[in-house]
C-alpha cells in the first residue's frame, strides 16, 4: 500500500514539474523577442551579448524538458514494456545507460540549435589532451562501468541469487548491480560492495534462486552402528524438514572411515538457498533426534579414563520413573505395582523434536504411546488442510486405535515441543489383557469417544460411536485372541 502511494506521489510530482517547465518555456518563447529588443536597447554597442544572456536560460529550459521526456520514456520502456515482456525488472545499470545516452544526444541537438555558431565536431576533435586527462581520471570508474555492462550482457546472476565472490569469499544475496558495484547482503545482514571491475577478475560462485542448490552436512557415528540403519534413519529424518526439497531424496553416504568414527555426509537440496544456515542447523537437529531414537550414537574421540567413584545414594531408576508415569495413566490405574513394573520394563522411550511427526494417518501401527514429557497435537487432514483434534500432554496416551483394532492409524500426531514418549507394543498389552479383562473395556470406551470426535465432533455421532463400543470390545478381544 505504501509503495503504491509513493508511486502515485512521484507521478504527480513528475506531471507537476513537466507542467511548470513547459509553462516557463512557453512564456519564455512568447516574450523572447521583446526581451531581446529590451536587452539590445539597454546594452547598445555590446552587440550579441544579449544573445548569450537569452540563450543560457533557453538551453536550461529545453534541457529540463528533454530530461523529463527521457525519464518518461525510460519509465514507459522499462517499467511497462520490458517488465511485461521479460517478467522481471530491468537492471538499474541498463536504465541509466539508456537515459544517459538519449539525454546526451538530445542535449547536443538542443545545444547545436541554440548555439549555431559553435562547431561541436571541432570542439571534440581538438580536445584530445582534455580527453586523455578525463580518461586517466576516470580510469577506475570507466573500468567499473564497462565491467558492469559485460556483467549485464552475460547475466551470470540476478538480483536475489546467492553468490560467493572473491578471495575473502563474501557470501550473500545479490541486492543490486549498479554502475560501480555489486551490492551483496550477507547472512549477518551486512552490506558488501564488490566493485564491478574486481568482480570481473574474480571467480564467482553462483547459486541461482530458481535452481535446486545442494548442501552437504557432516556427522560421525560409532563403528558399532550399522551403516544401512544409519542411512535409512538419517534420510527419513531429514527428507521432510522445512526447506528441504521433496523433489530430490537426500543422499546419506560414508565420507571416510576415521580414527574413532565412521564419517558421514548428507547431501540435500534446498527450496530456498538463501536460508541454508537455518536449514543446515535444522538438519543437524533432526539427525541428533533420529540417532537418539534409533539407538545410534554420535562418535567422539575415545579415551580410557579410570575414575574413583564416590558411594552415592541409590538413584531412582529410569524404570521406576516410567512405572510412576504409567500408574498415572487412567486406563492402567487398575494394574498392580508388579504389573506396572513389568509393563515399564517392556516399554521403549523415544524423544522427538518440535514439529516432528510421531504417527502418520494411514500407516500401519502395532504399538501405542504414553506421553512422558512434552505435548503432542492430534490432527486430521480435511480438504488438504490440517484440523487439530486434540492436544495431549504428560500422562495421556495415543496410538491405541490402530494397536487394538488392527486398522490403519486414524490421525497424524505431531510433537508440539520436545517430547518424550513411552512405546508399548502388542505383546505387552496382550499379557495385560489376559490378567485384566476390564482393561479392554475401558480402552474400547476411549476409542469410541475418540472416533466420535474424529467424525466431526457432532453430538449425535458421538453418541452413536459410544454405543458402538460394545461392538468394539468384541473386535478388540478377537484381535488379541481373548475369550
- Using CB atoms within 10 A of its CB, is residue 131 exposed (0-12), middle (13-18) or buried (19+)? exposed
**Pattern of binders to ligand CMP over 309-348, x per CB under 6 A?**
----------------------------------------
| Beta carbon nearer to ligand CMP, 69 or 395 | 395
| Beta carbon nearer to ligand CMP, 359 or 440 | 359
| Beta carbon nearer to ligand CMP, 75 or 453 | 453
| Stretch touching ligand CMP by CB under 6 A, among 36-44, 257-265, 349-357, 447-455 | 447-455
- Least distance CB 371 / ligand CMP (angstroms): 11
| Beta carbon nearer to ligand CMP, 299 or 378 | 378
Instruction: Report how many residues bind ligand CMP under the rule CB under 6 A.
Output: 17
- Window 452 to 471, contacts with ligand CMP (CB under 6 A): 453-454
- In whole angstroms, give the CA distance from residue 69 to residue 64: 9
- In whole angstroms, give the CA distance from residue 70 to residue 467: 81
- Least distance CB 473 / ligand CMP (angstroms): 17
The reply on whether position 17 binds ligand CMP by CB under 6 A is: no
- Least distance CB 430 / ligand CMP (angstroms): 17
- Least distance CB 418 / ligand CMP (angstroms): 20
**Pattern of binders to ligand CMP over 391-430, x per CB under 6 A?**
-------xxxxx------xxx-x-----------------
The reply on whether position 352 binds ligand CMP by CB under 6 A is: no
- Least distance CB 431 / ligand CMP (angstroms): 20
Shortest CA distance to 265 belongs to which of 239, 231, 222, 295?
231
Strand order in the sheet with 213-221: 213-221, 262-270, 251-257
| Beta carbon nearer to ligand CMP, 89 or 417 | 417
- In whole angstroms, give the CA distance from residue 203 to residue 163: 10
| Beta carbon nearer to ligand CMP, 118 or 456 | 456
Q: Let me know: does 58 contact 24? Beta carbons within 8 Å.
A: no
Q: Number of C-alpha atoms within 13 angstroms, CB side, residue 208?
A: 7
CB environment 364-376: b (16+ within 10 A), e (fewer): ebebbbbbbebbb
The reply on whether position 390 binds ligand CMP by CB under 6 A is: yes
342: cell is: 513389568
Shortest CA distance to 439 belongs to which of 394, 403, 392, 393?
403
Neighbours of 445 (CB within 10 A): 14
The reply on whether position 389 binds ligand CMP by CB under 6 A is: yes
Distances 36 to 30, 63, 155 between C-alpha atoms, Å: 12, 21, 54
Q: Let me know: does 458 contact 451? Beta carbons within 8 Å.
A: no
Binding positions for ligand CMP, rule: CB under 6 A:
359, 365, 378, 389-390, 398-402, 409-411, 413, 450, 453-454
Amino acid at each position: 500500500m505504501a509503495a503504491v502511494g509513493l508511486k502515485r506521489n512521484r507521478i504527480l510530482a513528475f506531471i507537476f514539474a513537466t507542467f511548470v517547465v513547459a509553462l516557463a518555456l512557453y512564456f519564455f518563447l512568447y516574450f523572447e523577442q521583446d526581451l531581446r529588443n529590451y536587452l539590445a536597447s539597454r546594452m547598445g554597442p555590446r552587440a550579441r551579448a544579449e544573445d548569450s544572456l537569452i540563450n543560457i536560460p533557453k538551453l536550461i529550459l529545453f534541457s529540463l524538458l528533454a530530461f523529463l521526456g527521457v525519464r518518461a520514456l525510460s519509465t514507459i520502456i522499462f517499467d511497462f514494456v520490458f517488465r511485461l515482456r521479460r517478467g522481471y525488472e530491468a537492471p538499474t545499470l541498463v536504465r541509466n545507460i539508456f537515459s544517459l545516452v538519449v539525454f546526451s544526444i538530445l542535449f547536443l541537438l538542443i545545444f547545436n540549435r541554440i548555439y549555431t555558431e559553435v562547431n561541436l565536431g571541432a570542439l571534440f576533435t581538438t580536445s584530445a589532451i582534455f580527453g586523455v586527462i578525463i580518461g586517466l581520471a576516470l580510469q577506475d570508474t570507466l573500468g567499473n562501468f564497462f565491467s558492469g555492462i559485460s556483467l549485464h550482457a552475460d547475466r551470470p546472476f540476478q538480483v536475489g541469487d546467492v553468490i560467493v565472490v572473491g578471495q575473502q569469499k563474501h557470501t550473500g544475496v545479490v541486492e543490486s548491480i549498479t554502475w560501480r558495484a555489486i551490492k551483496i547482503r550477507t547472512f549477518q545482514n551486512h552490506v558488501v560492495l564488490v566493485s564491478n571491475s574486481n568482480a570481473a577478475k574474480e571467480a564467482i560462485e553462483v547459486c541461482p534462486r530458481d535452481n535446486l542448490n545442494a548442501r552437504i552436512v557432516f556427522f560421525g557415528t560409532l563403528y558399532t552402528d550399522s551403516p544401512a540403519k544409519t542411512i535409512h534413519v538419517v534420510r527419513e529424518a531429514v527428507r521432510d524438514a522445512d526447506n528441504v526439497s521433496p523433489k530430490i531424496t537426500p543422499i546419506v553416504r560414508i565420507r571416510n572411515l576415521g580414527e574413532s568414527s565412521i564419517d558421514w555426509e548428507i547431501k540435500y537440496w534446498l527450496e530456498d538457498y538463501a536460508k541454508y544456515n537455518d536449514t543446515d542447523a535444522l538438519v543437524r537437529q533432526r539427525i541428533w533426534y533420529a540417532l537418539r531414537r534409533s539407538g545410534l550414537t554420535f562418535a567422539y574421540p575415545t579415551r580410557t579414563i579410570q575414575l574413583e567413584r564416590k558411594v552415592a545414594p541409590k538413584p531412582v531408576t529410569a524404570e521406576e520413573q516410567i512405572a510412576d508415569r504409567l500408574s498415572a495413566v487412567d486406563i492402567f490405574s487398575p494394574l498392580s505395582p508388579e504389573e506396572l513394573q513389568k509393563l515399564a520394563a517392556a516399554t521403549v522411550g523415544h524423544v522427538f523434536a518440535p514439529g516432528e511427526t510421531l504417527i502418520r494417518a494411514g500407516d500401519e501401527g502395532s504399538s501405542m504411546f504414553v506421553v512422558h514429557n512434552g505435548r503432542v497435537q492430534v490432527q486430521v487432514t480435511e480438504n488438504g488442510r490440517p484440523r487439530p483434534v486434540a492436544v495431549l500432554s504428560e500422562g495421556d496416551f495415543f496410538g491405541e486405535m490402530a494397536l487394538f483394532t488392527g486398522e490403519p492409524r486414524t490421525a497424524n500426531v505431531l510433537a508440539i515441543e520436545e517430547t518424550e514418549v513411552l512405546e508399548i507394543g502388542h505383546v505387552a498389552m496382550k499379557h495385560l489383557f489376559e490378567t485384566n479383562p476390564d482393561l479392554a473395556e475401558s480402552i474400547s470406551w476411549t476409542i469410541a469417544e475418540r472416533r466420535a470426535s474424529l467424525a466431526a465432533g457432532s453430538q449425535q455421532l458421538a453418541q452413536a460411536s459410544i454405543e458402538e463400543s460394545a461392538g468394539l470390545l468384541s473386535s478388540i478381544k478377537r484381535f488379541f485372541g481373548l475369550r
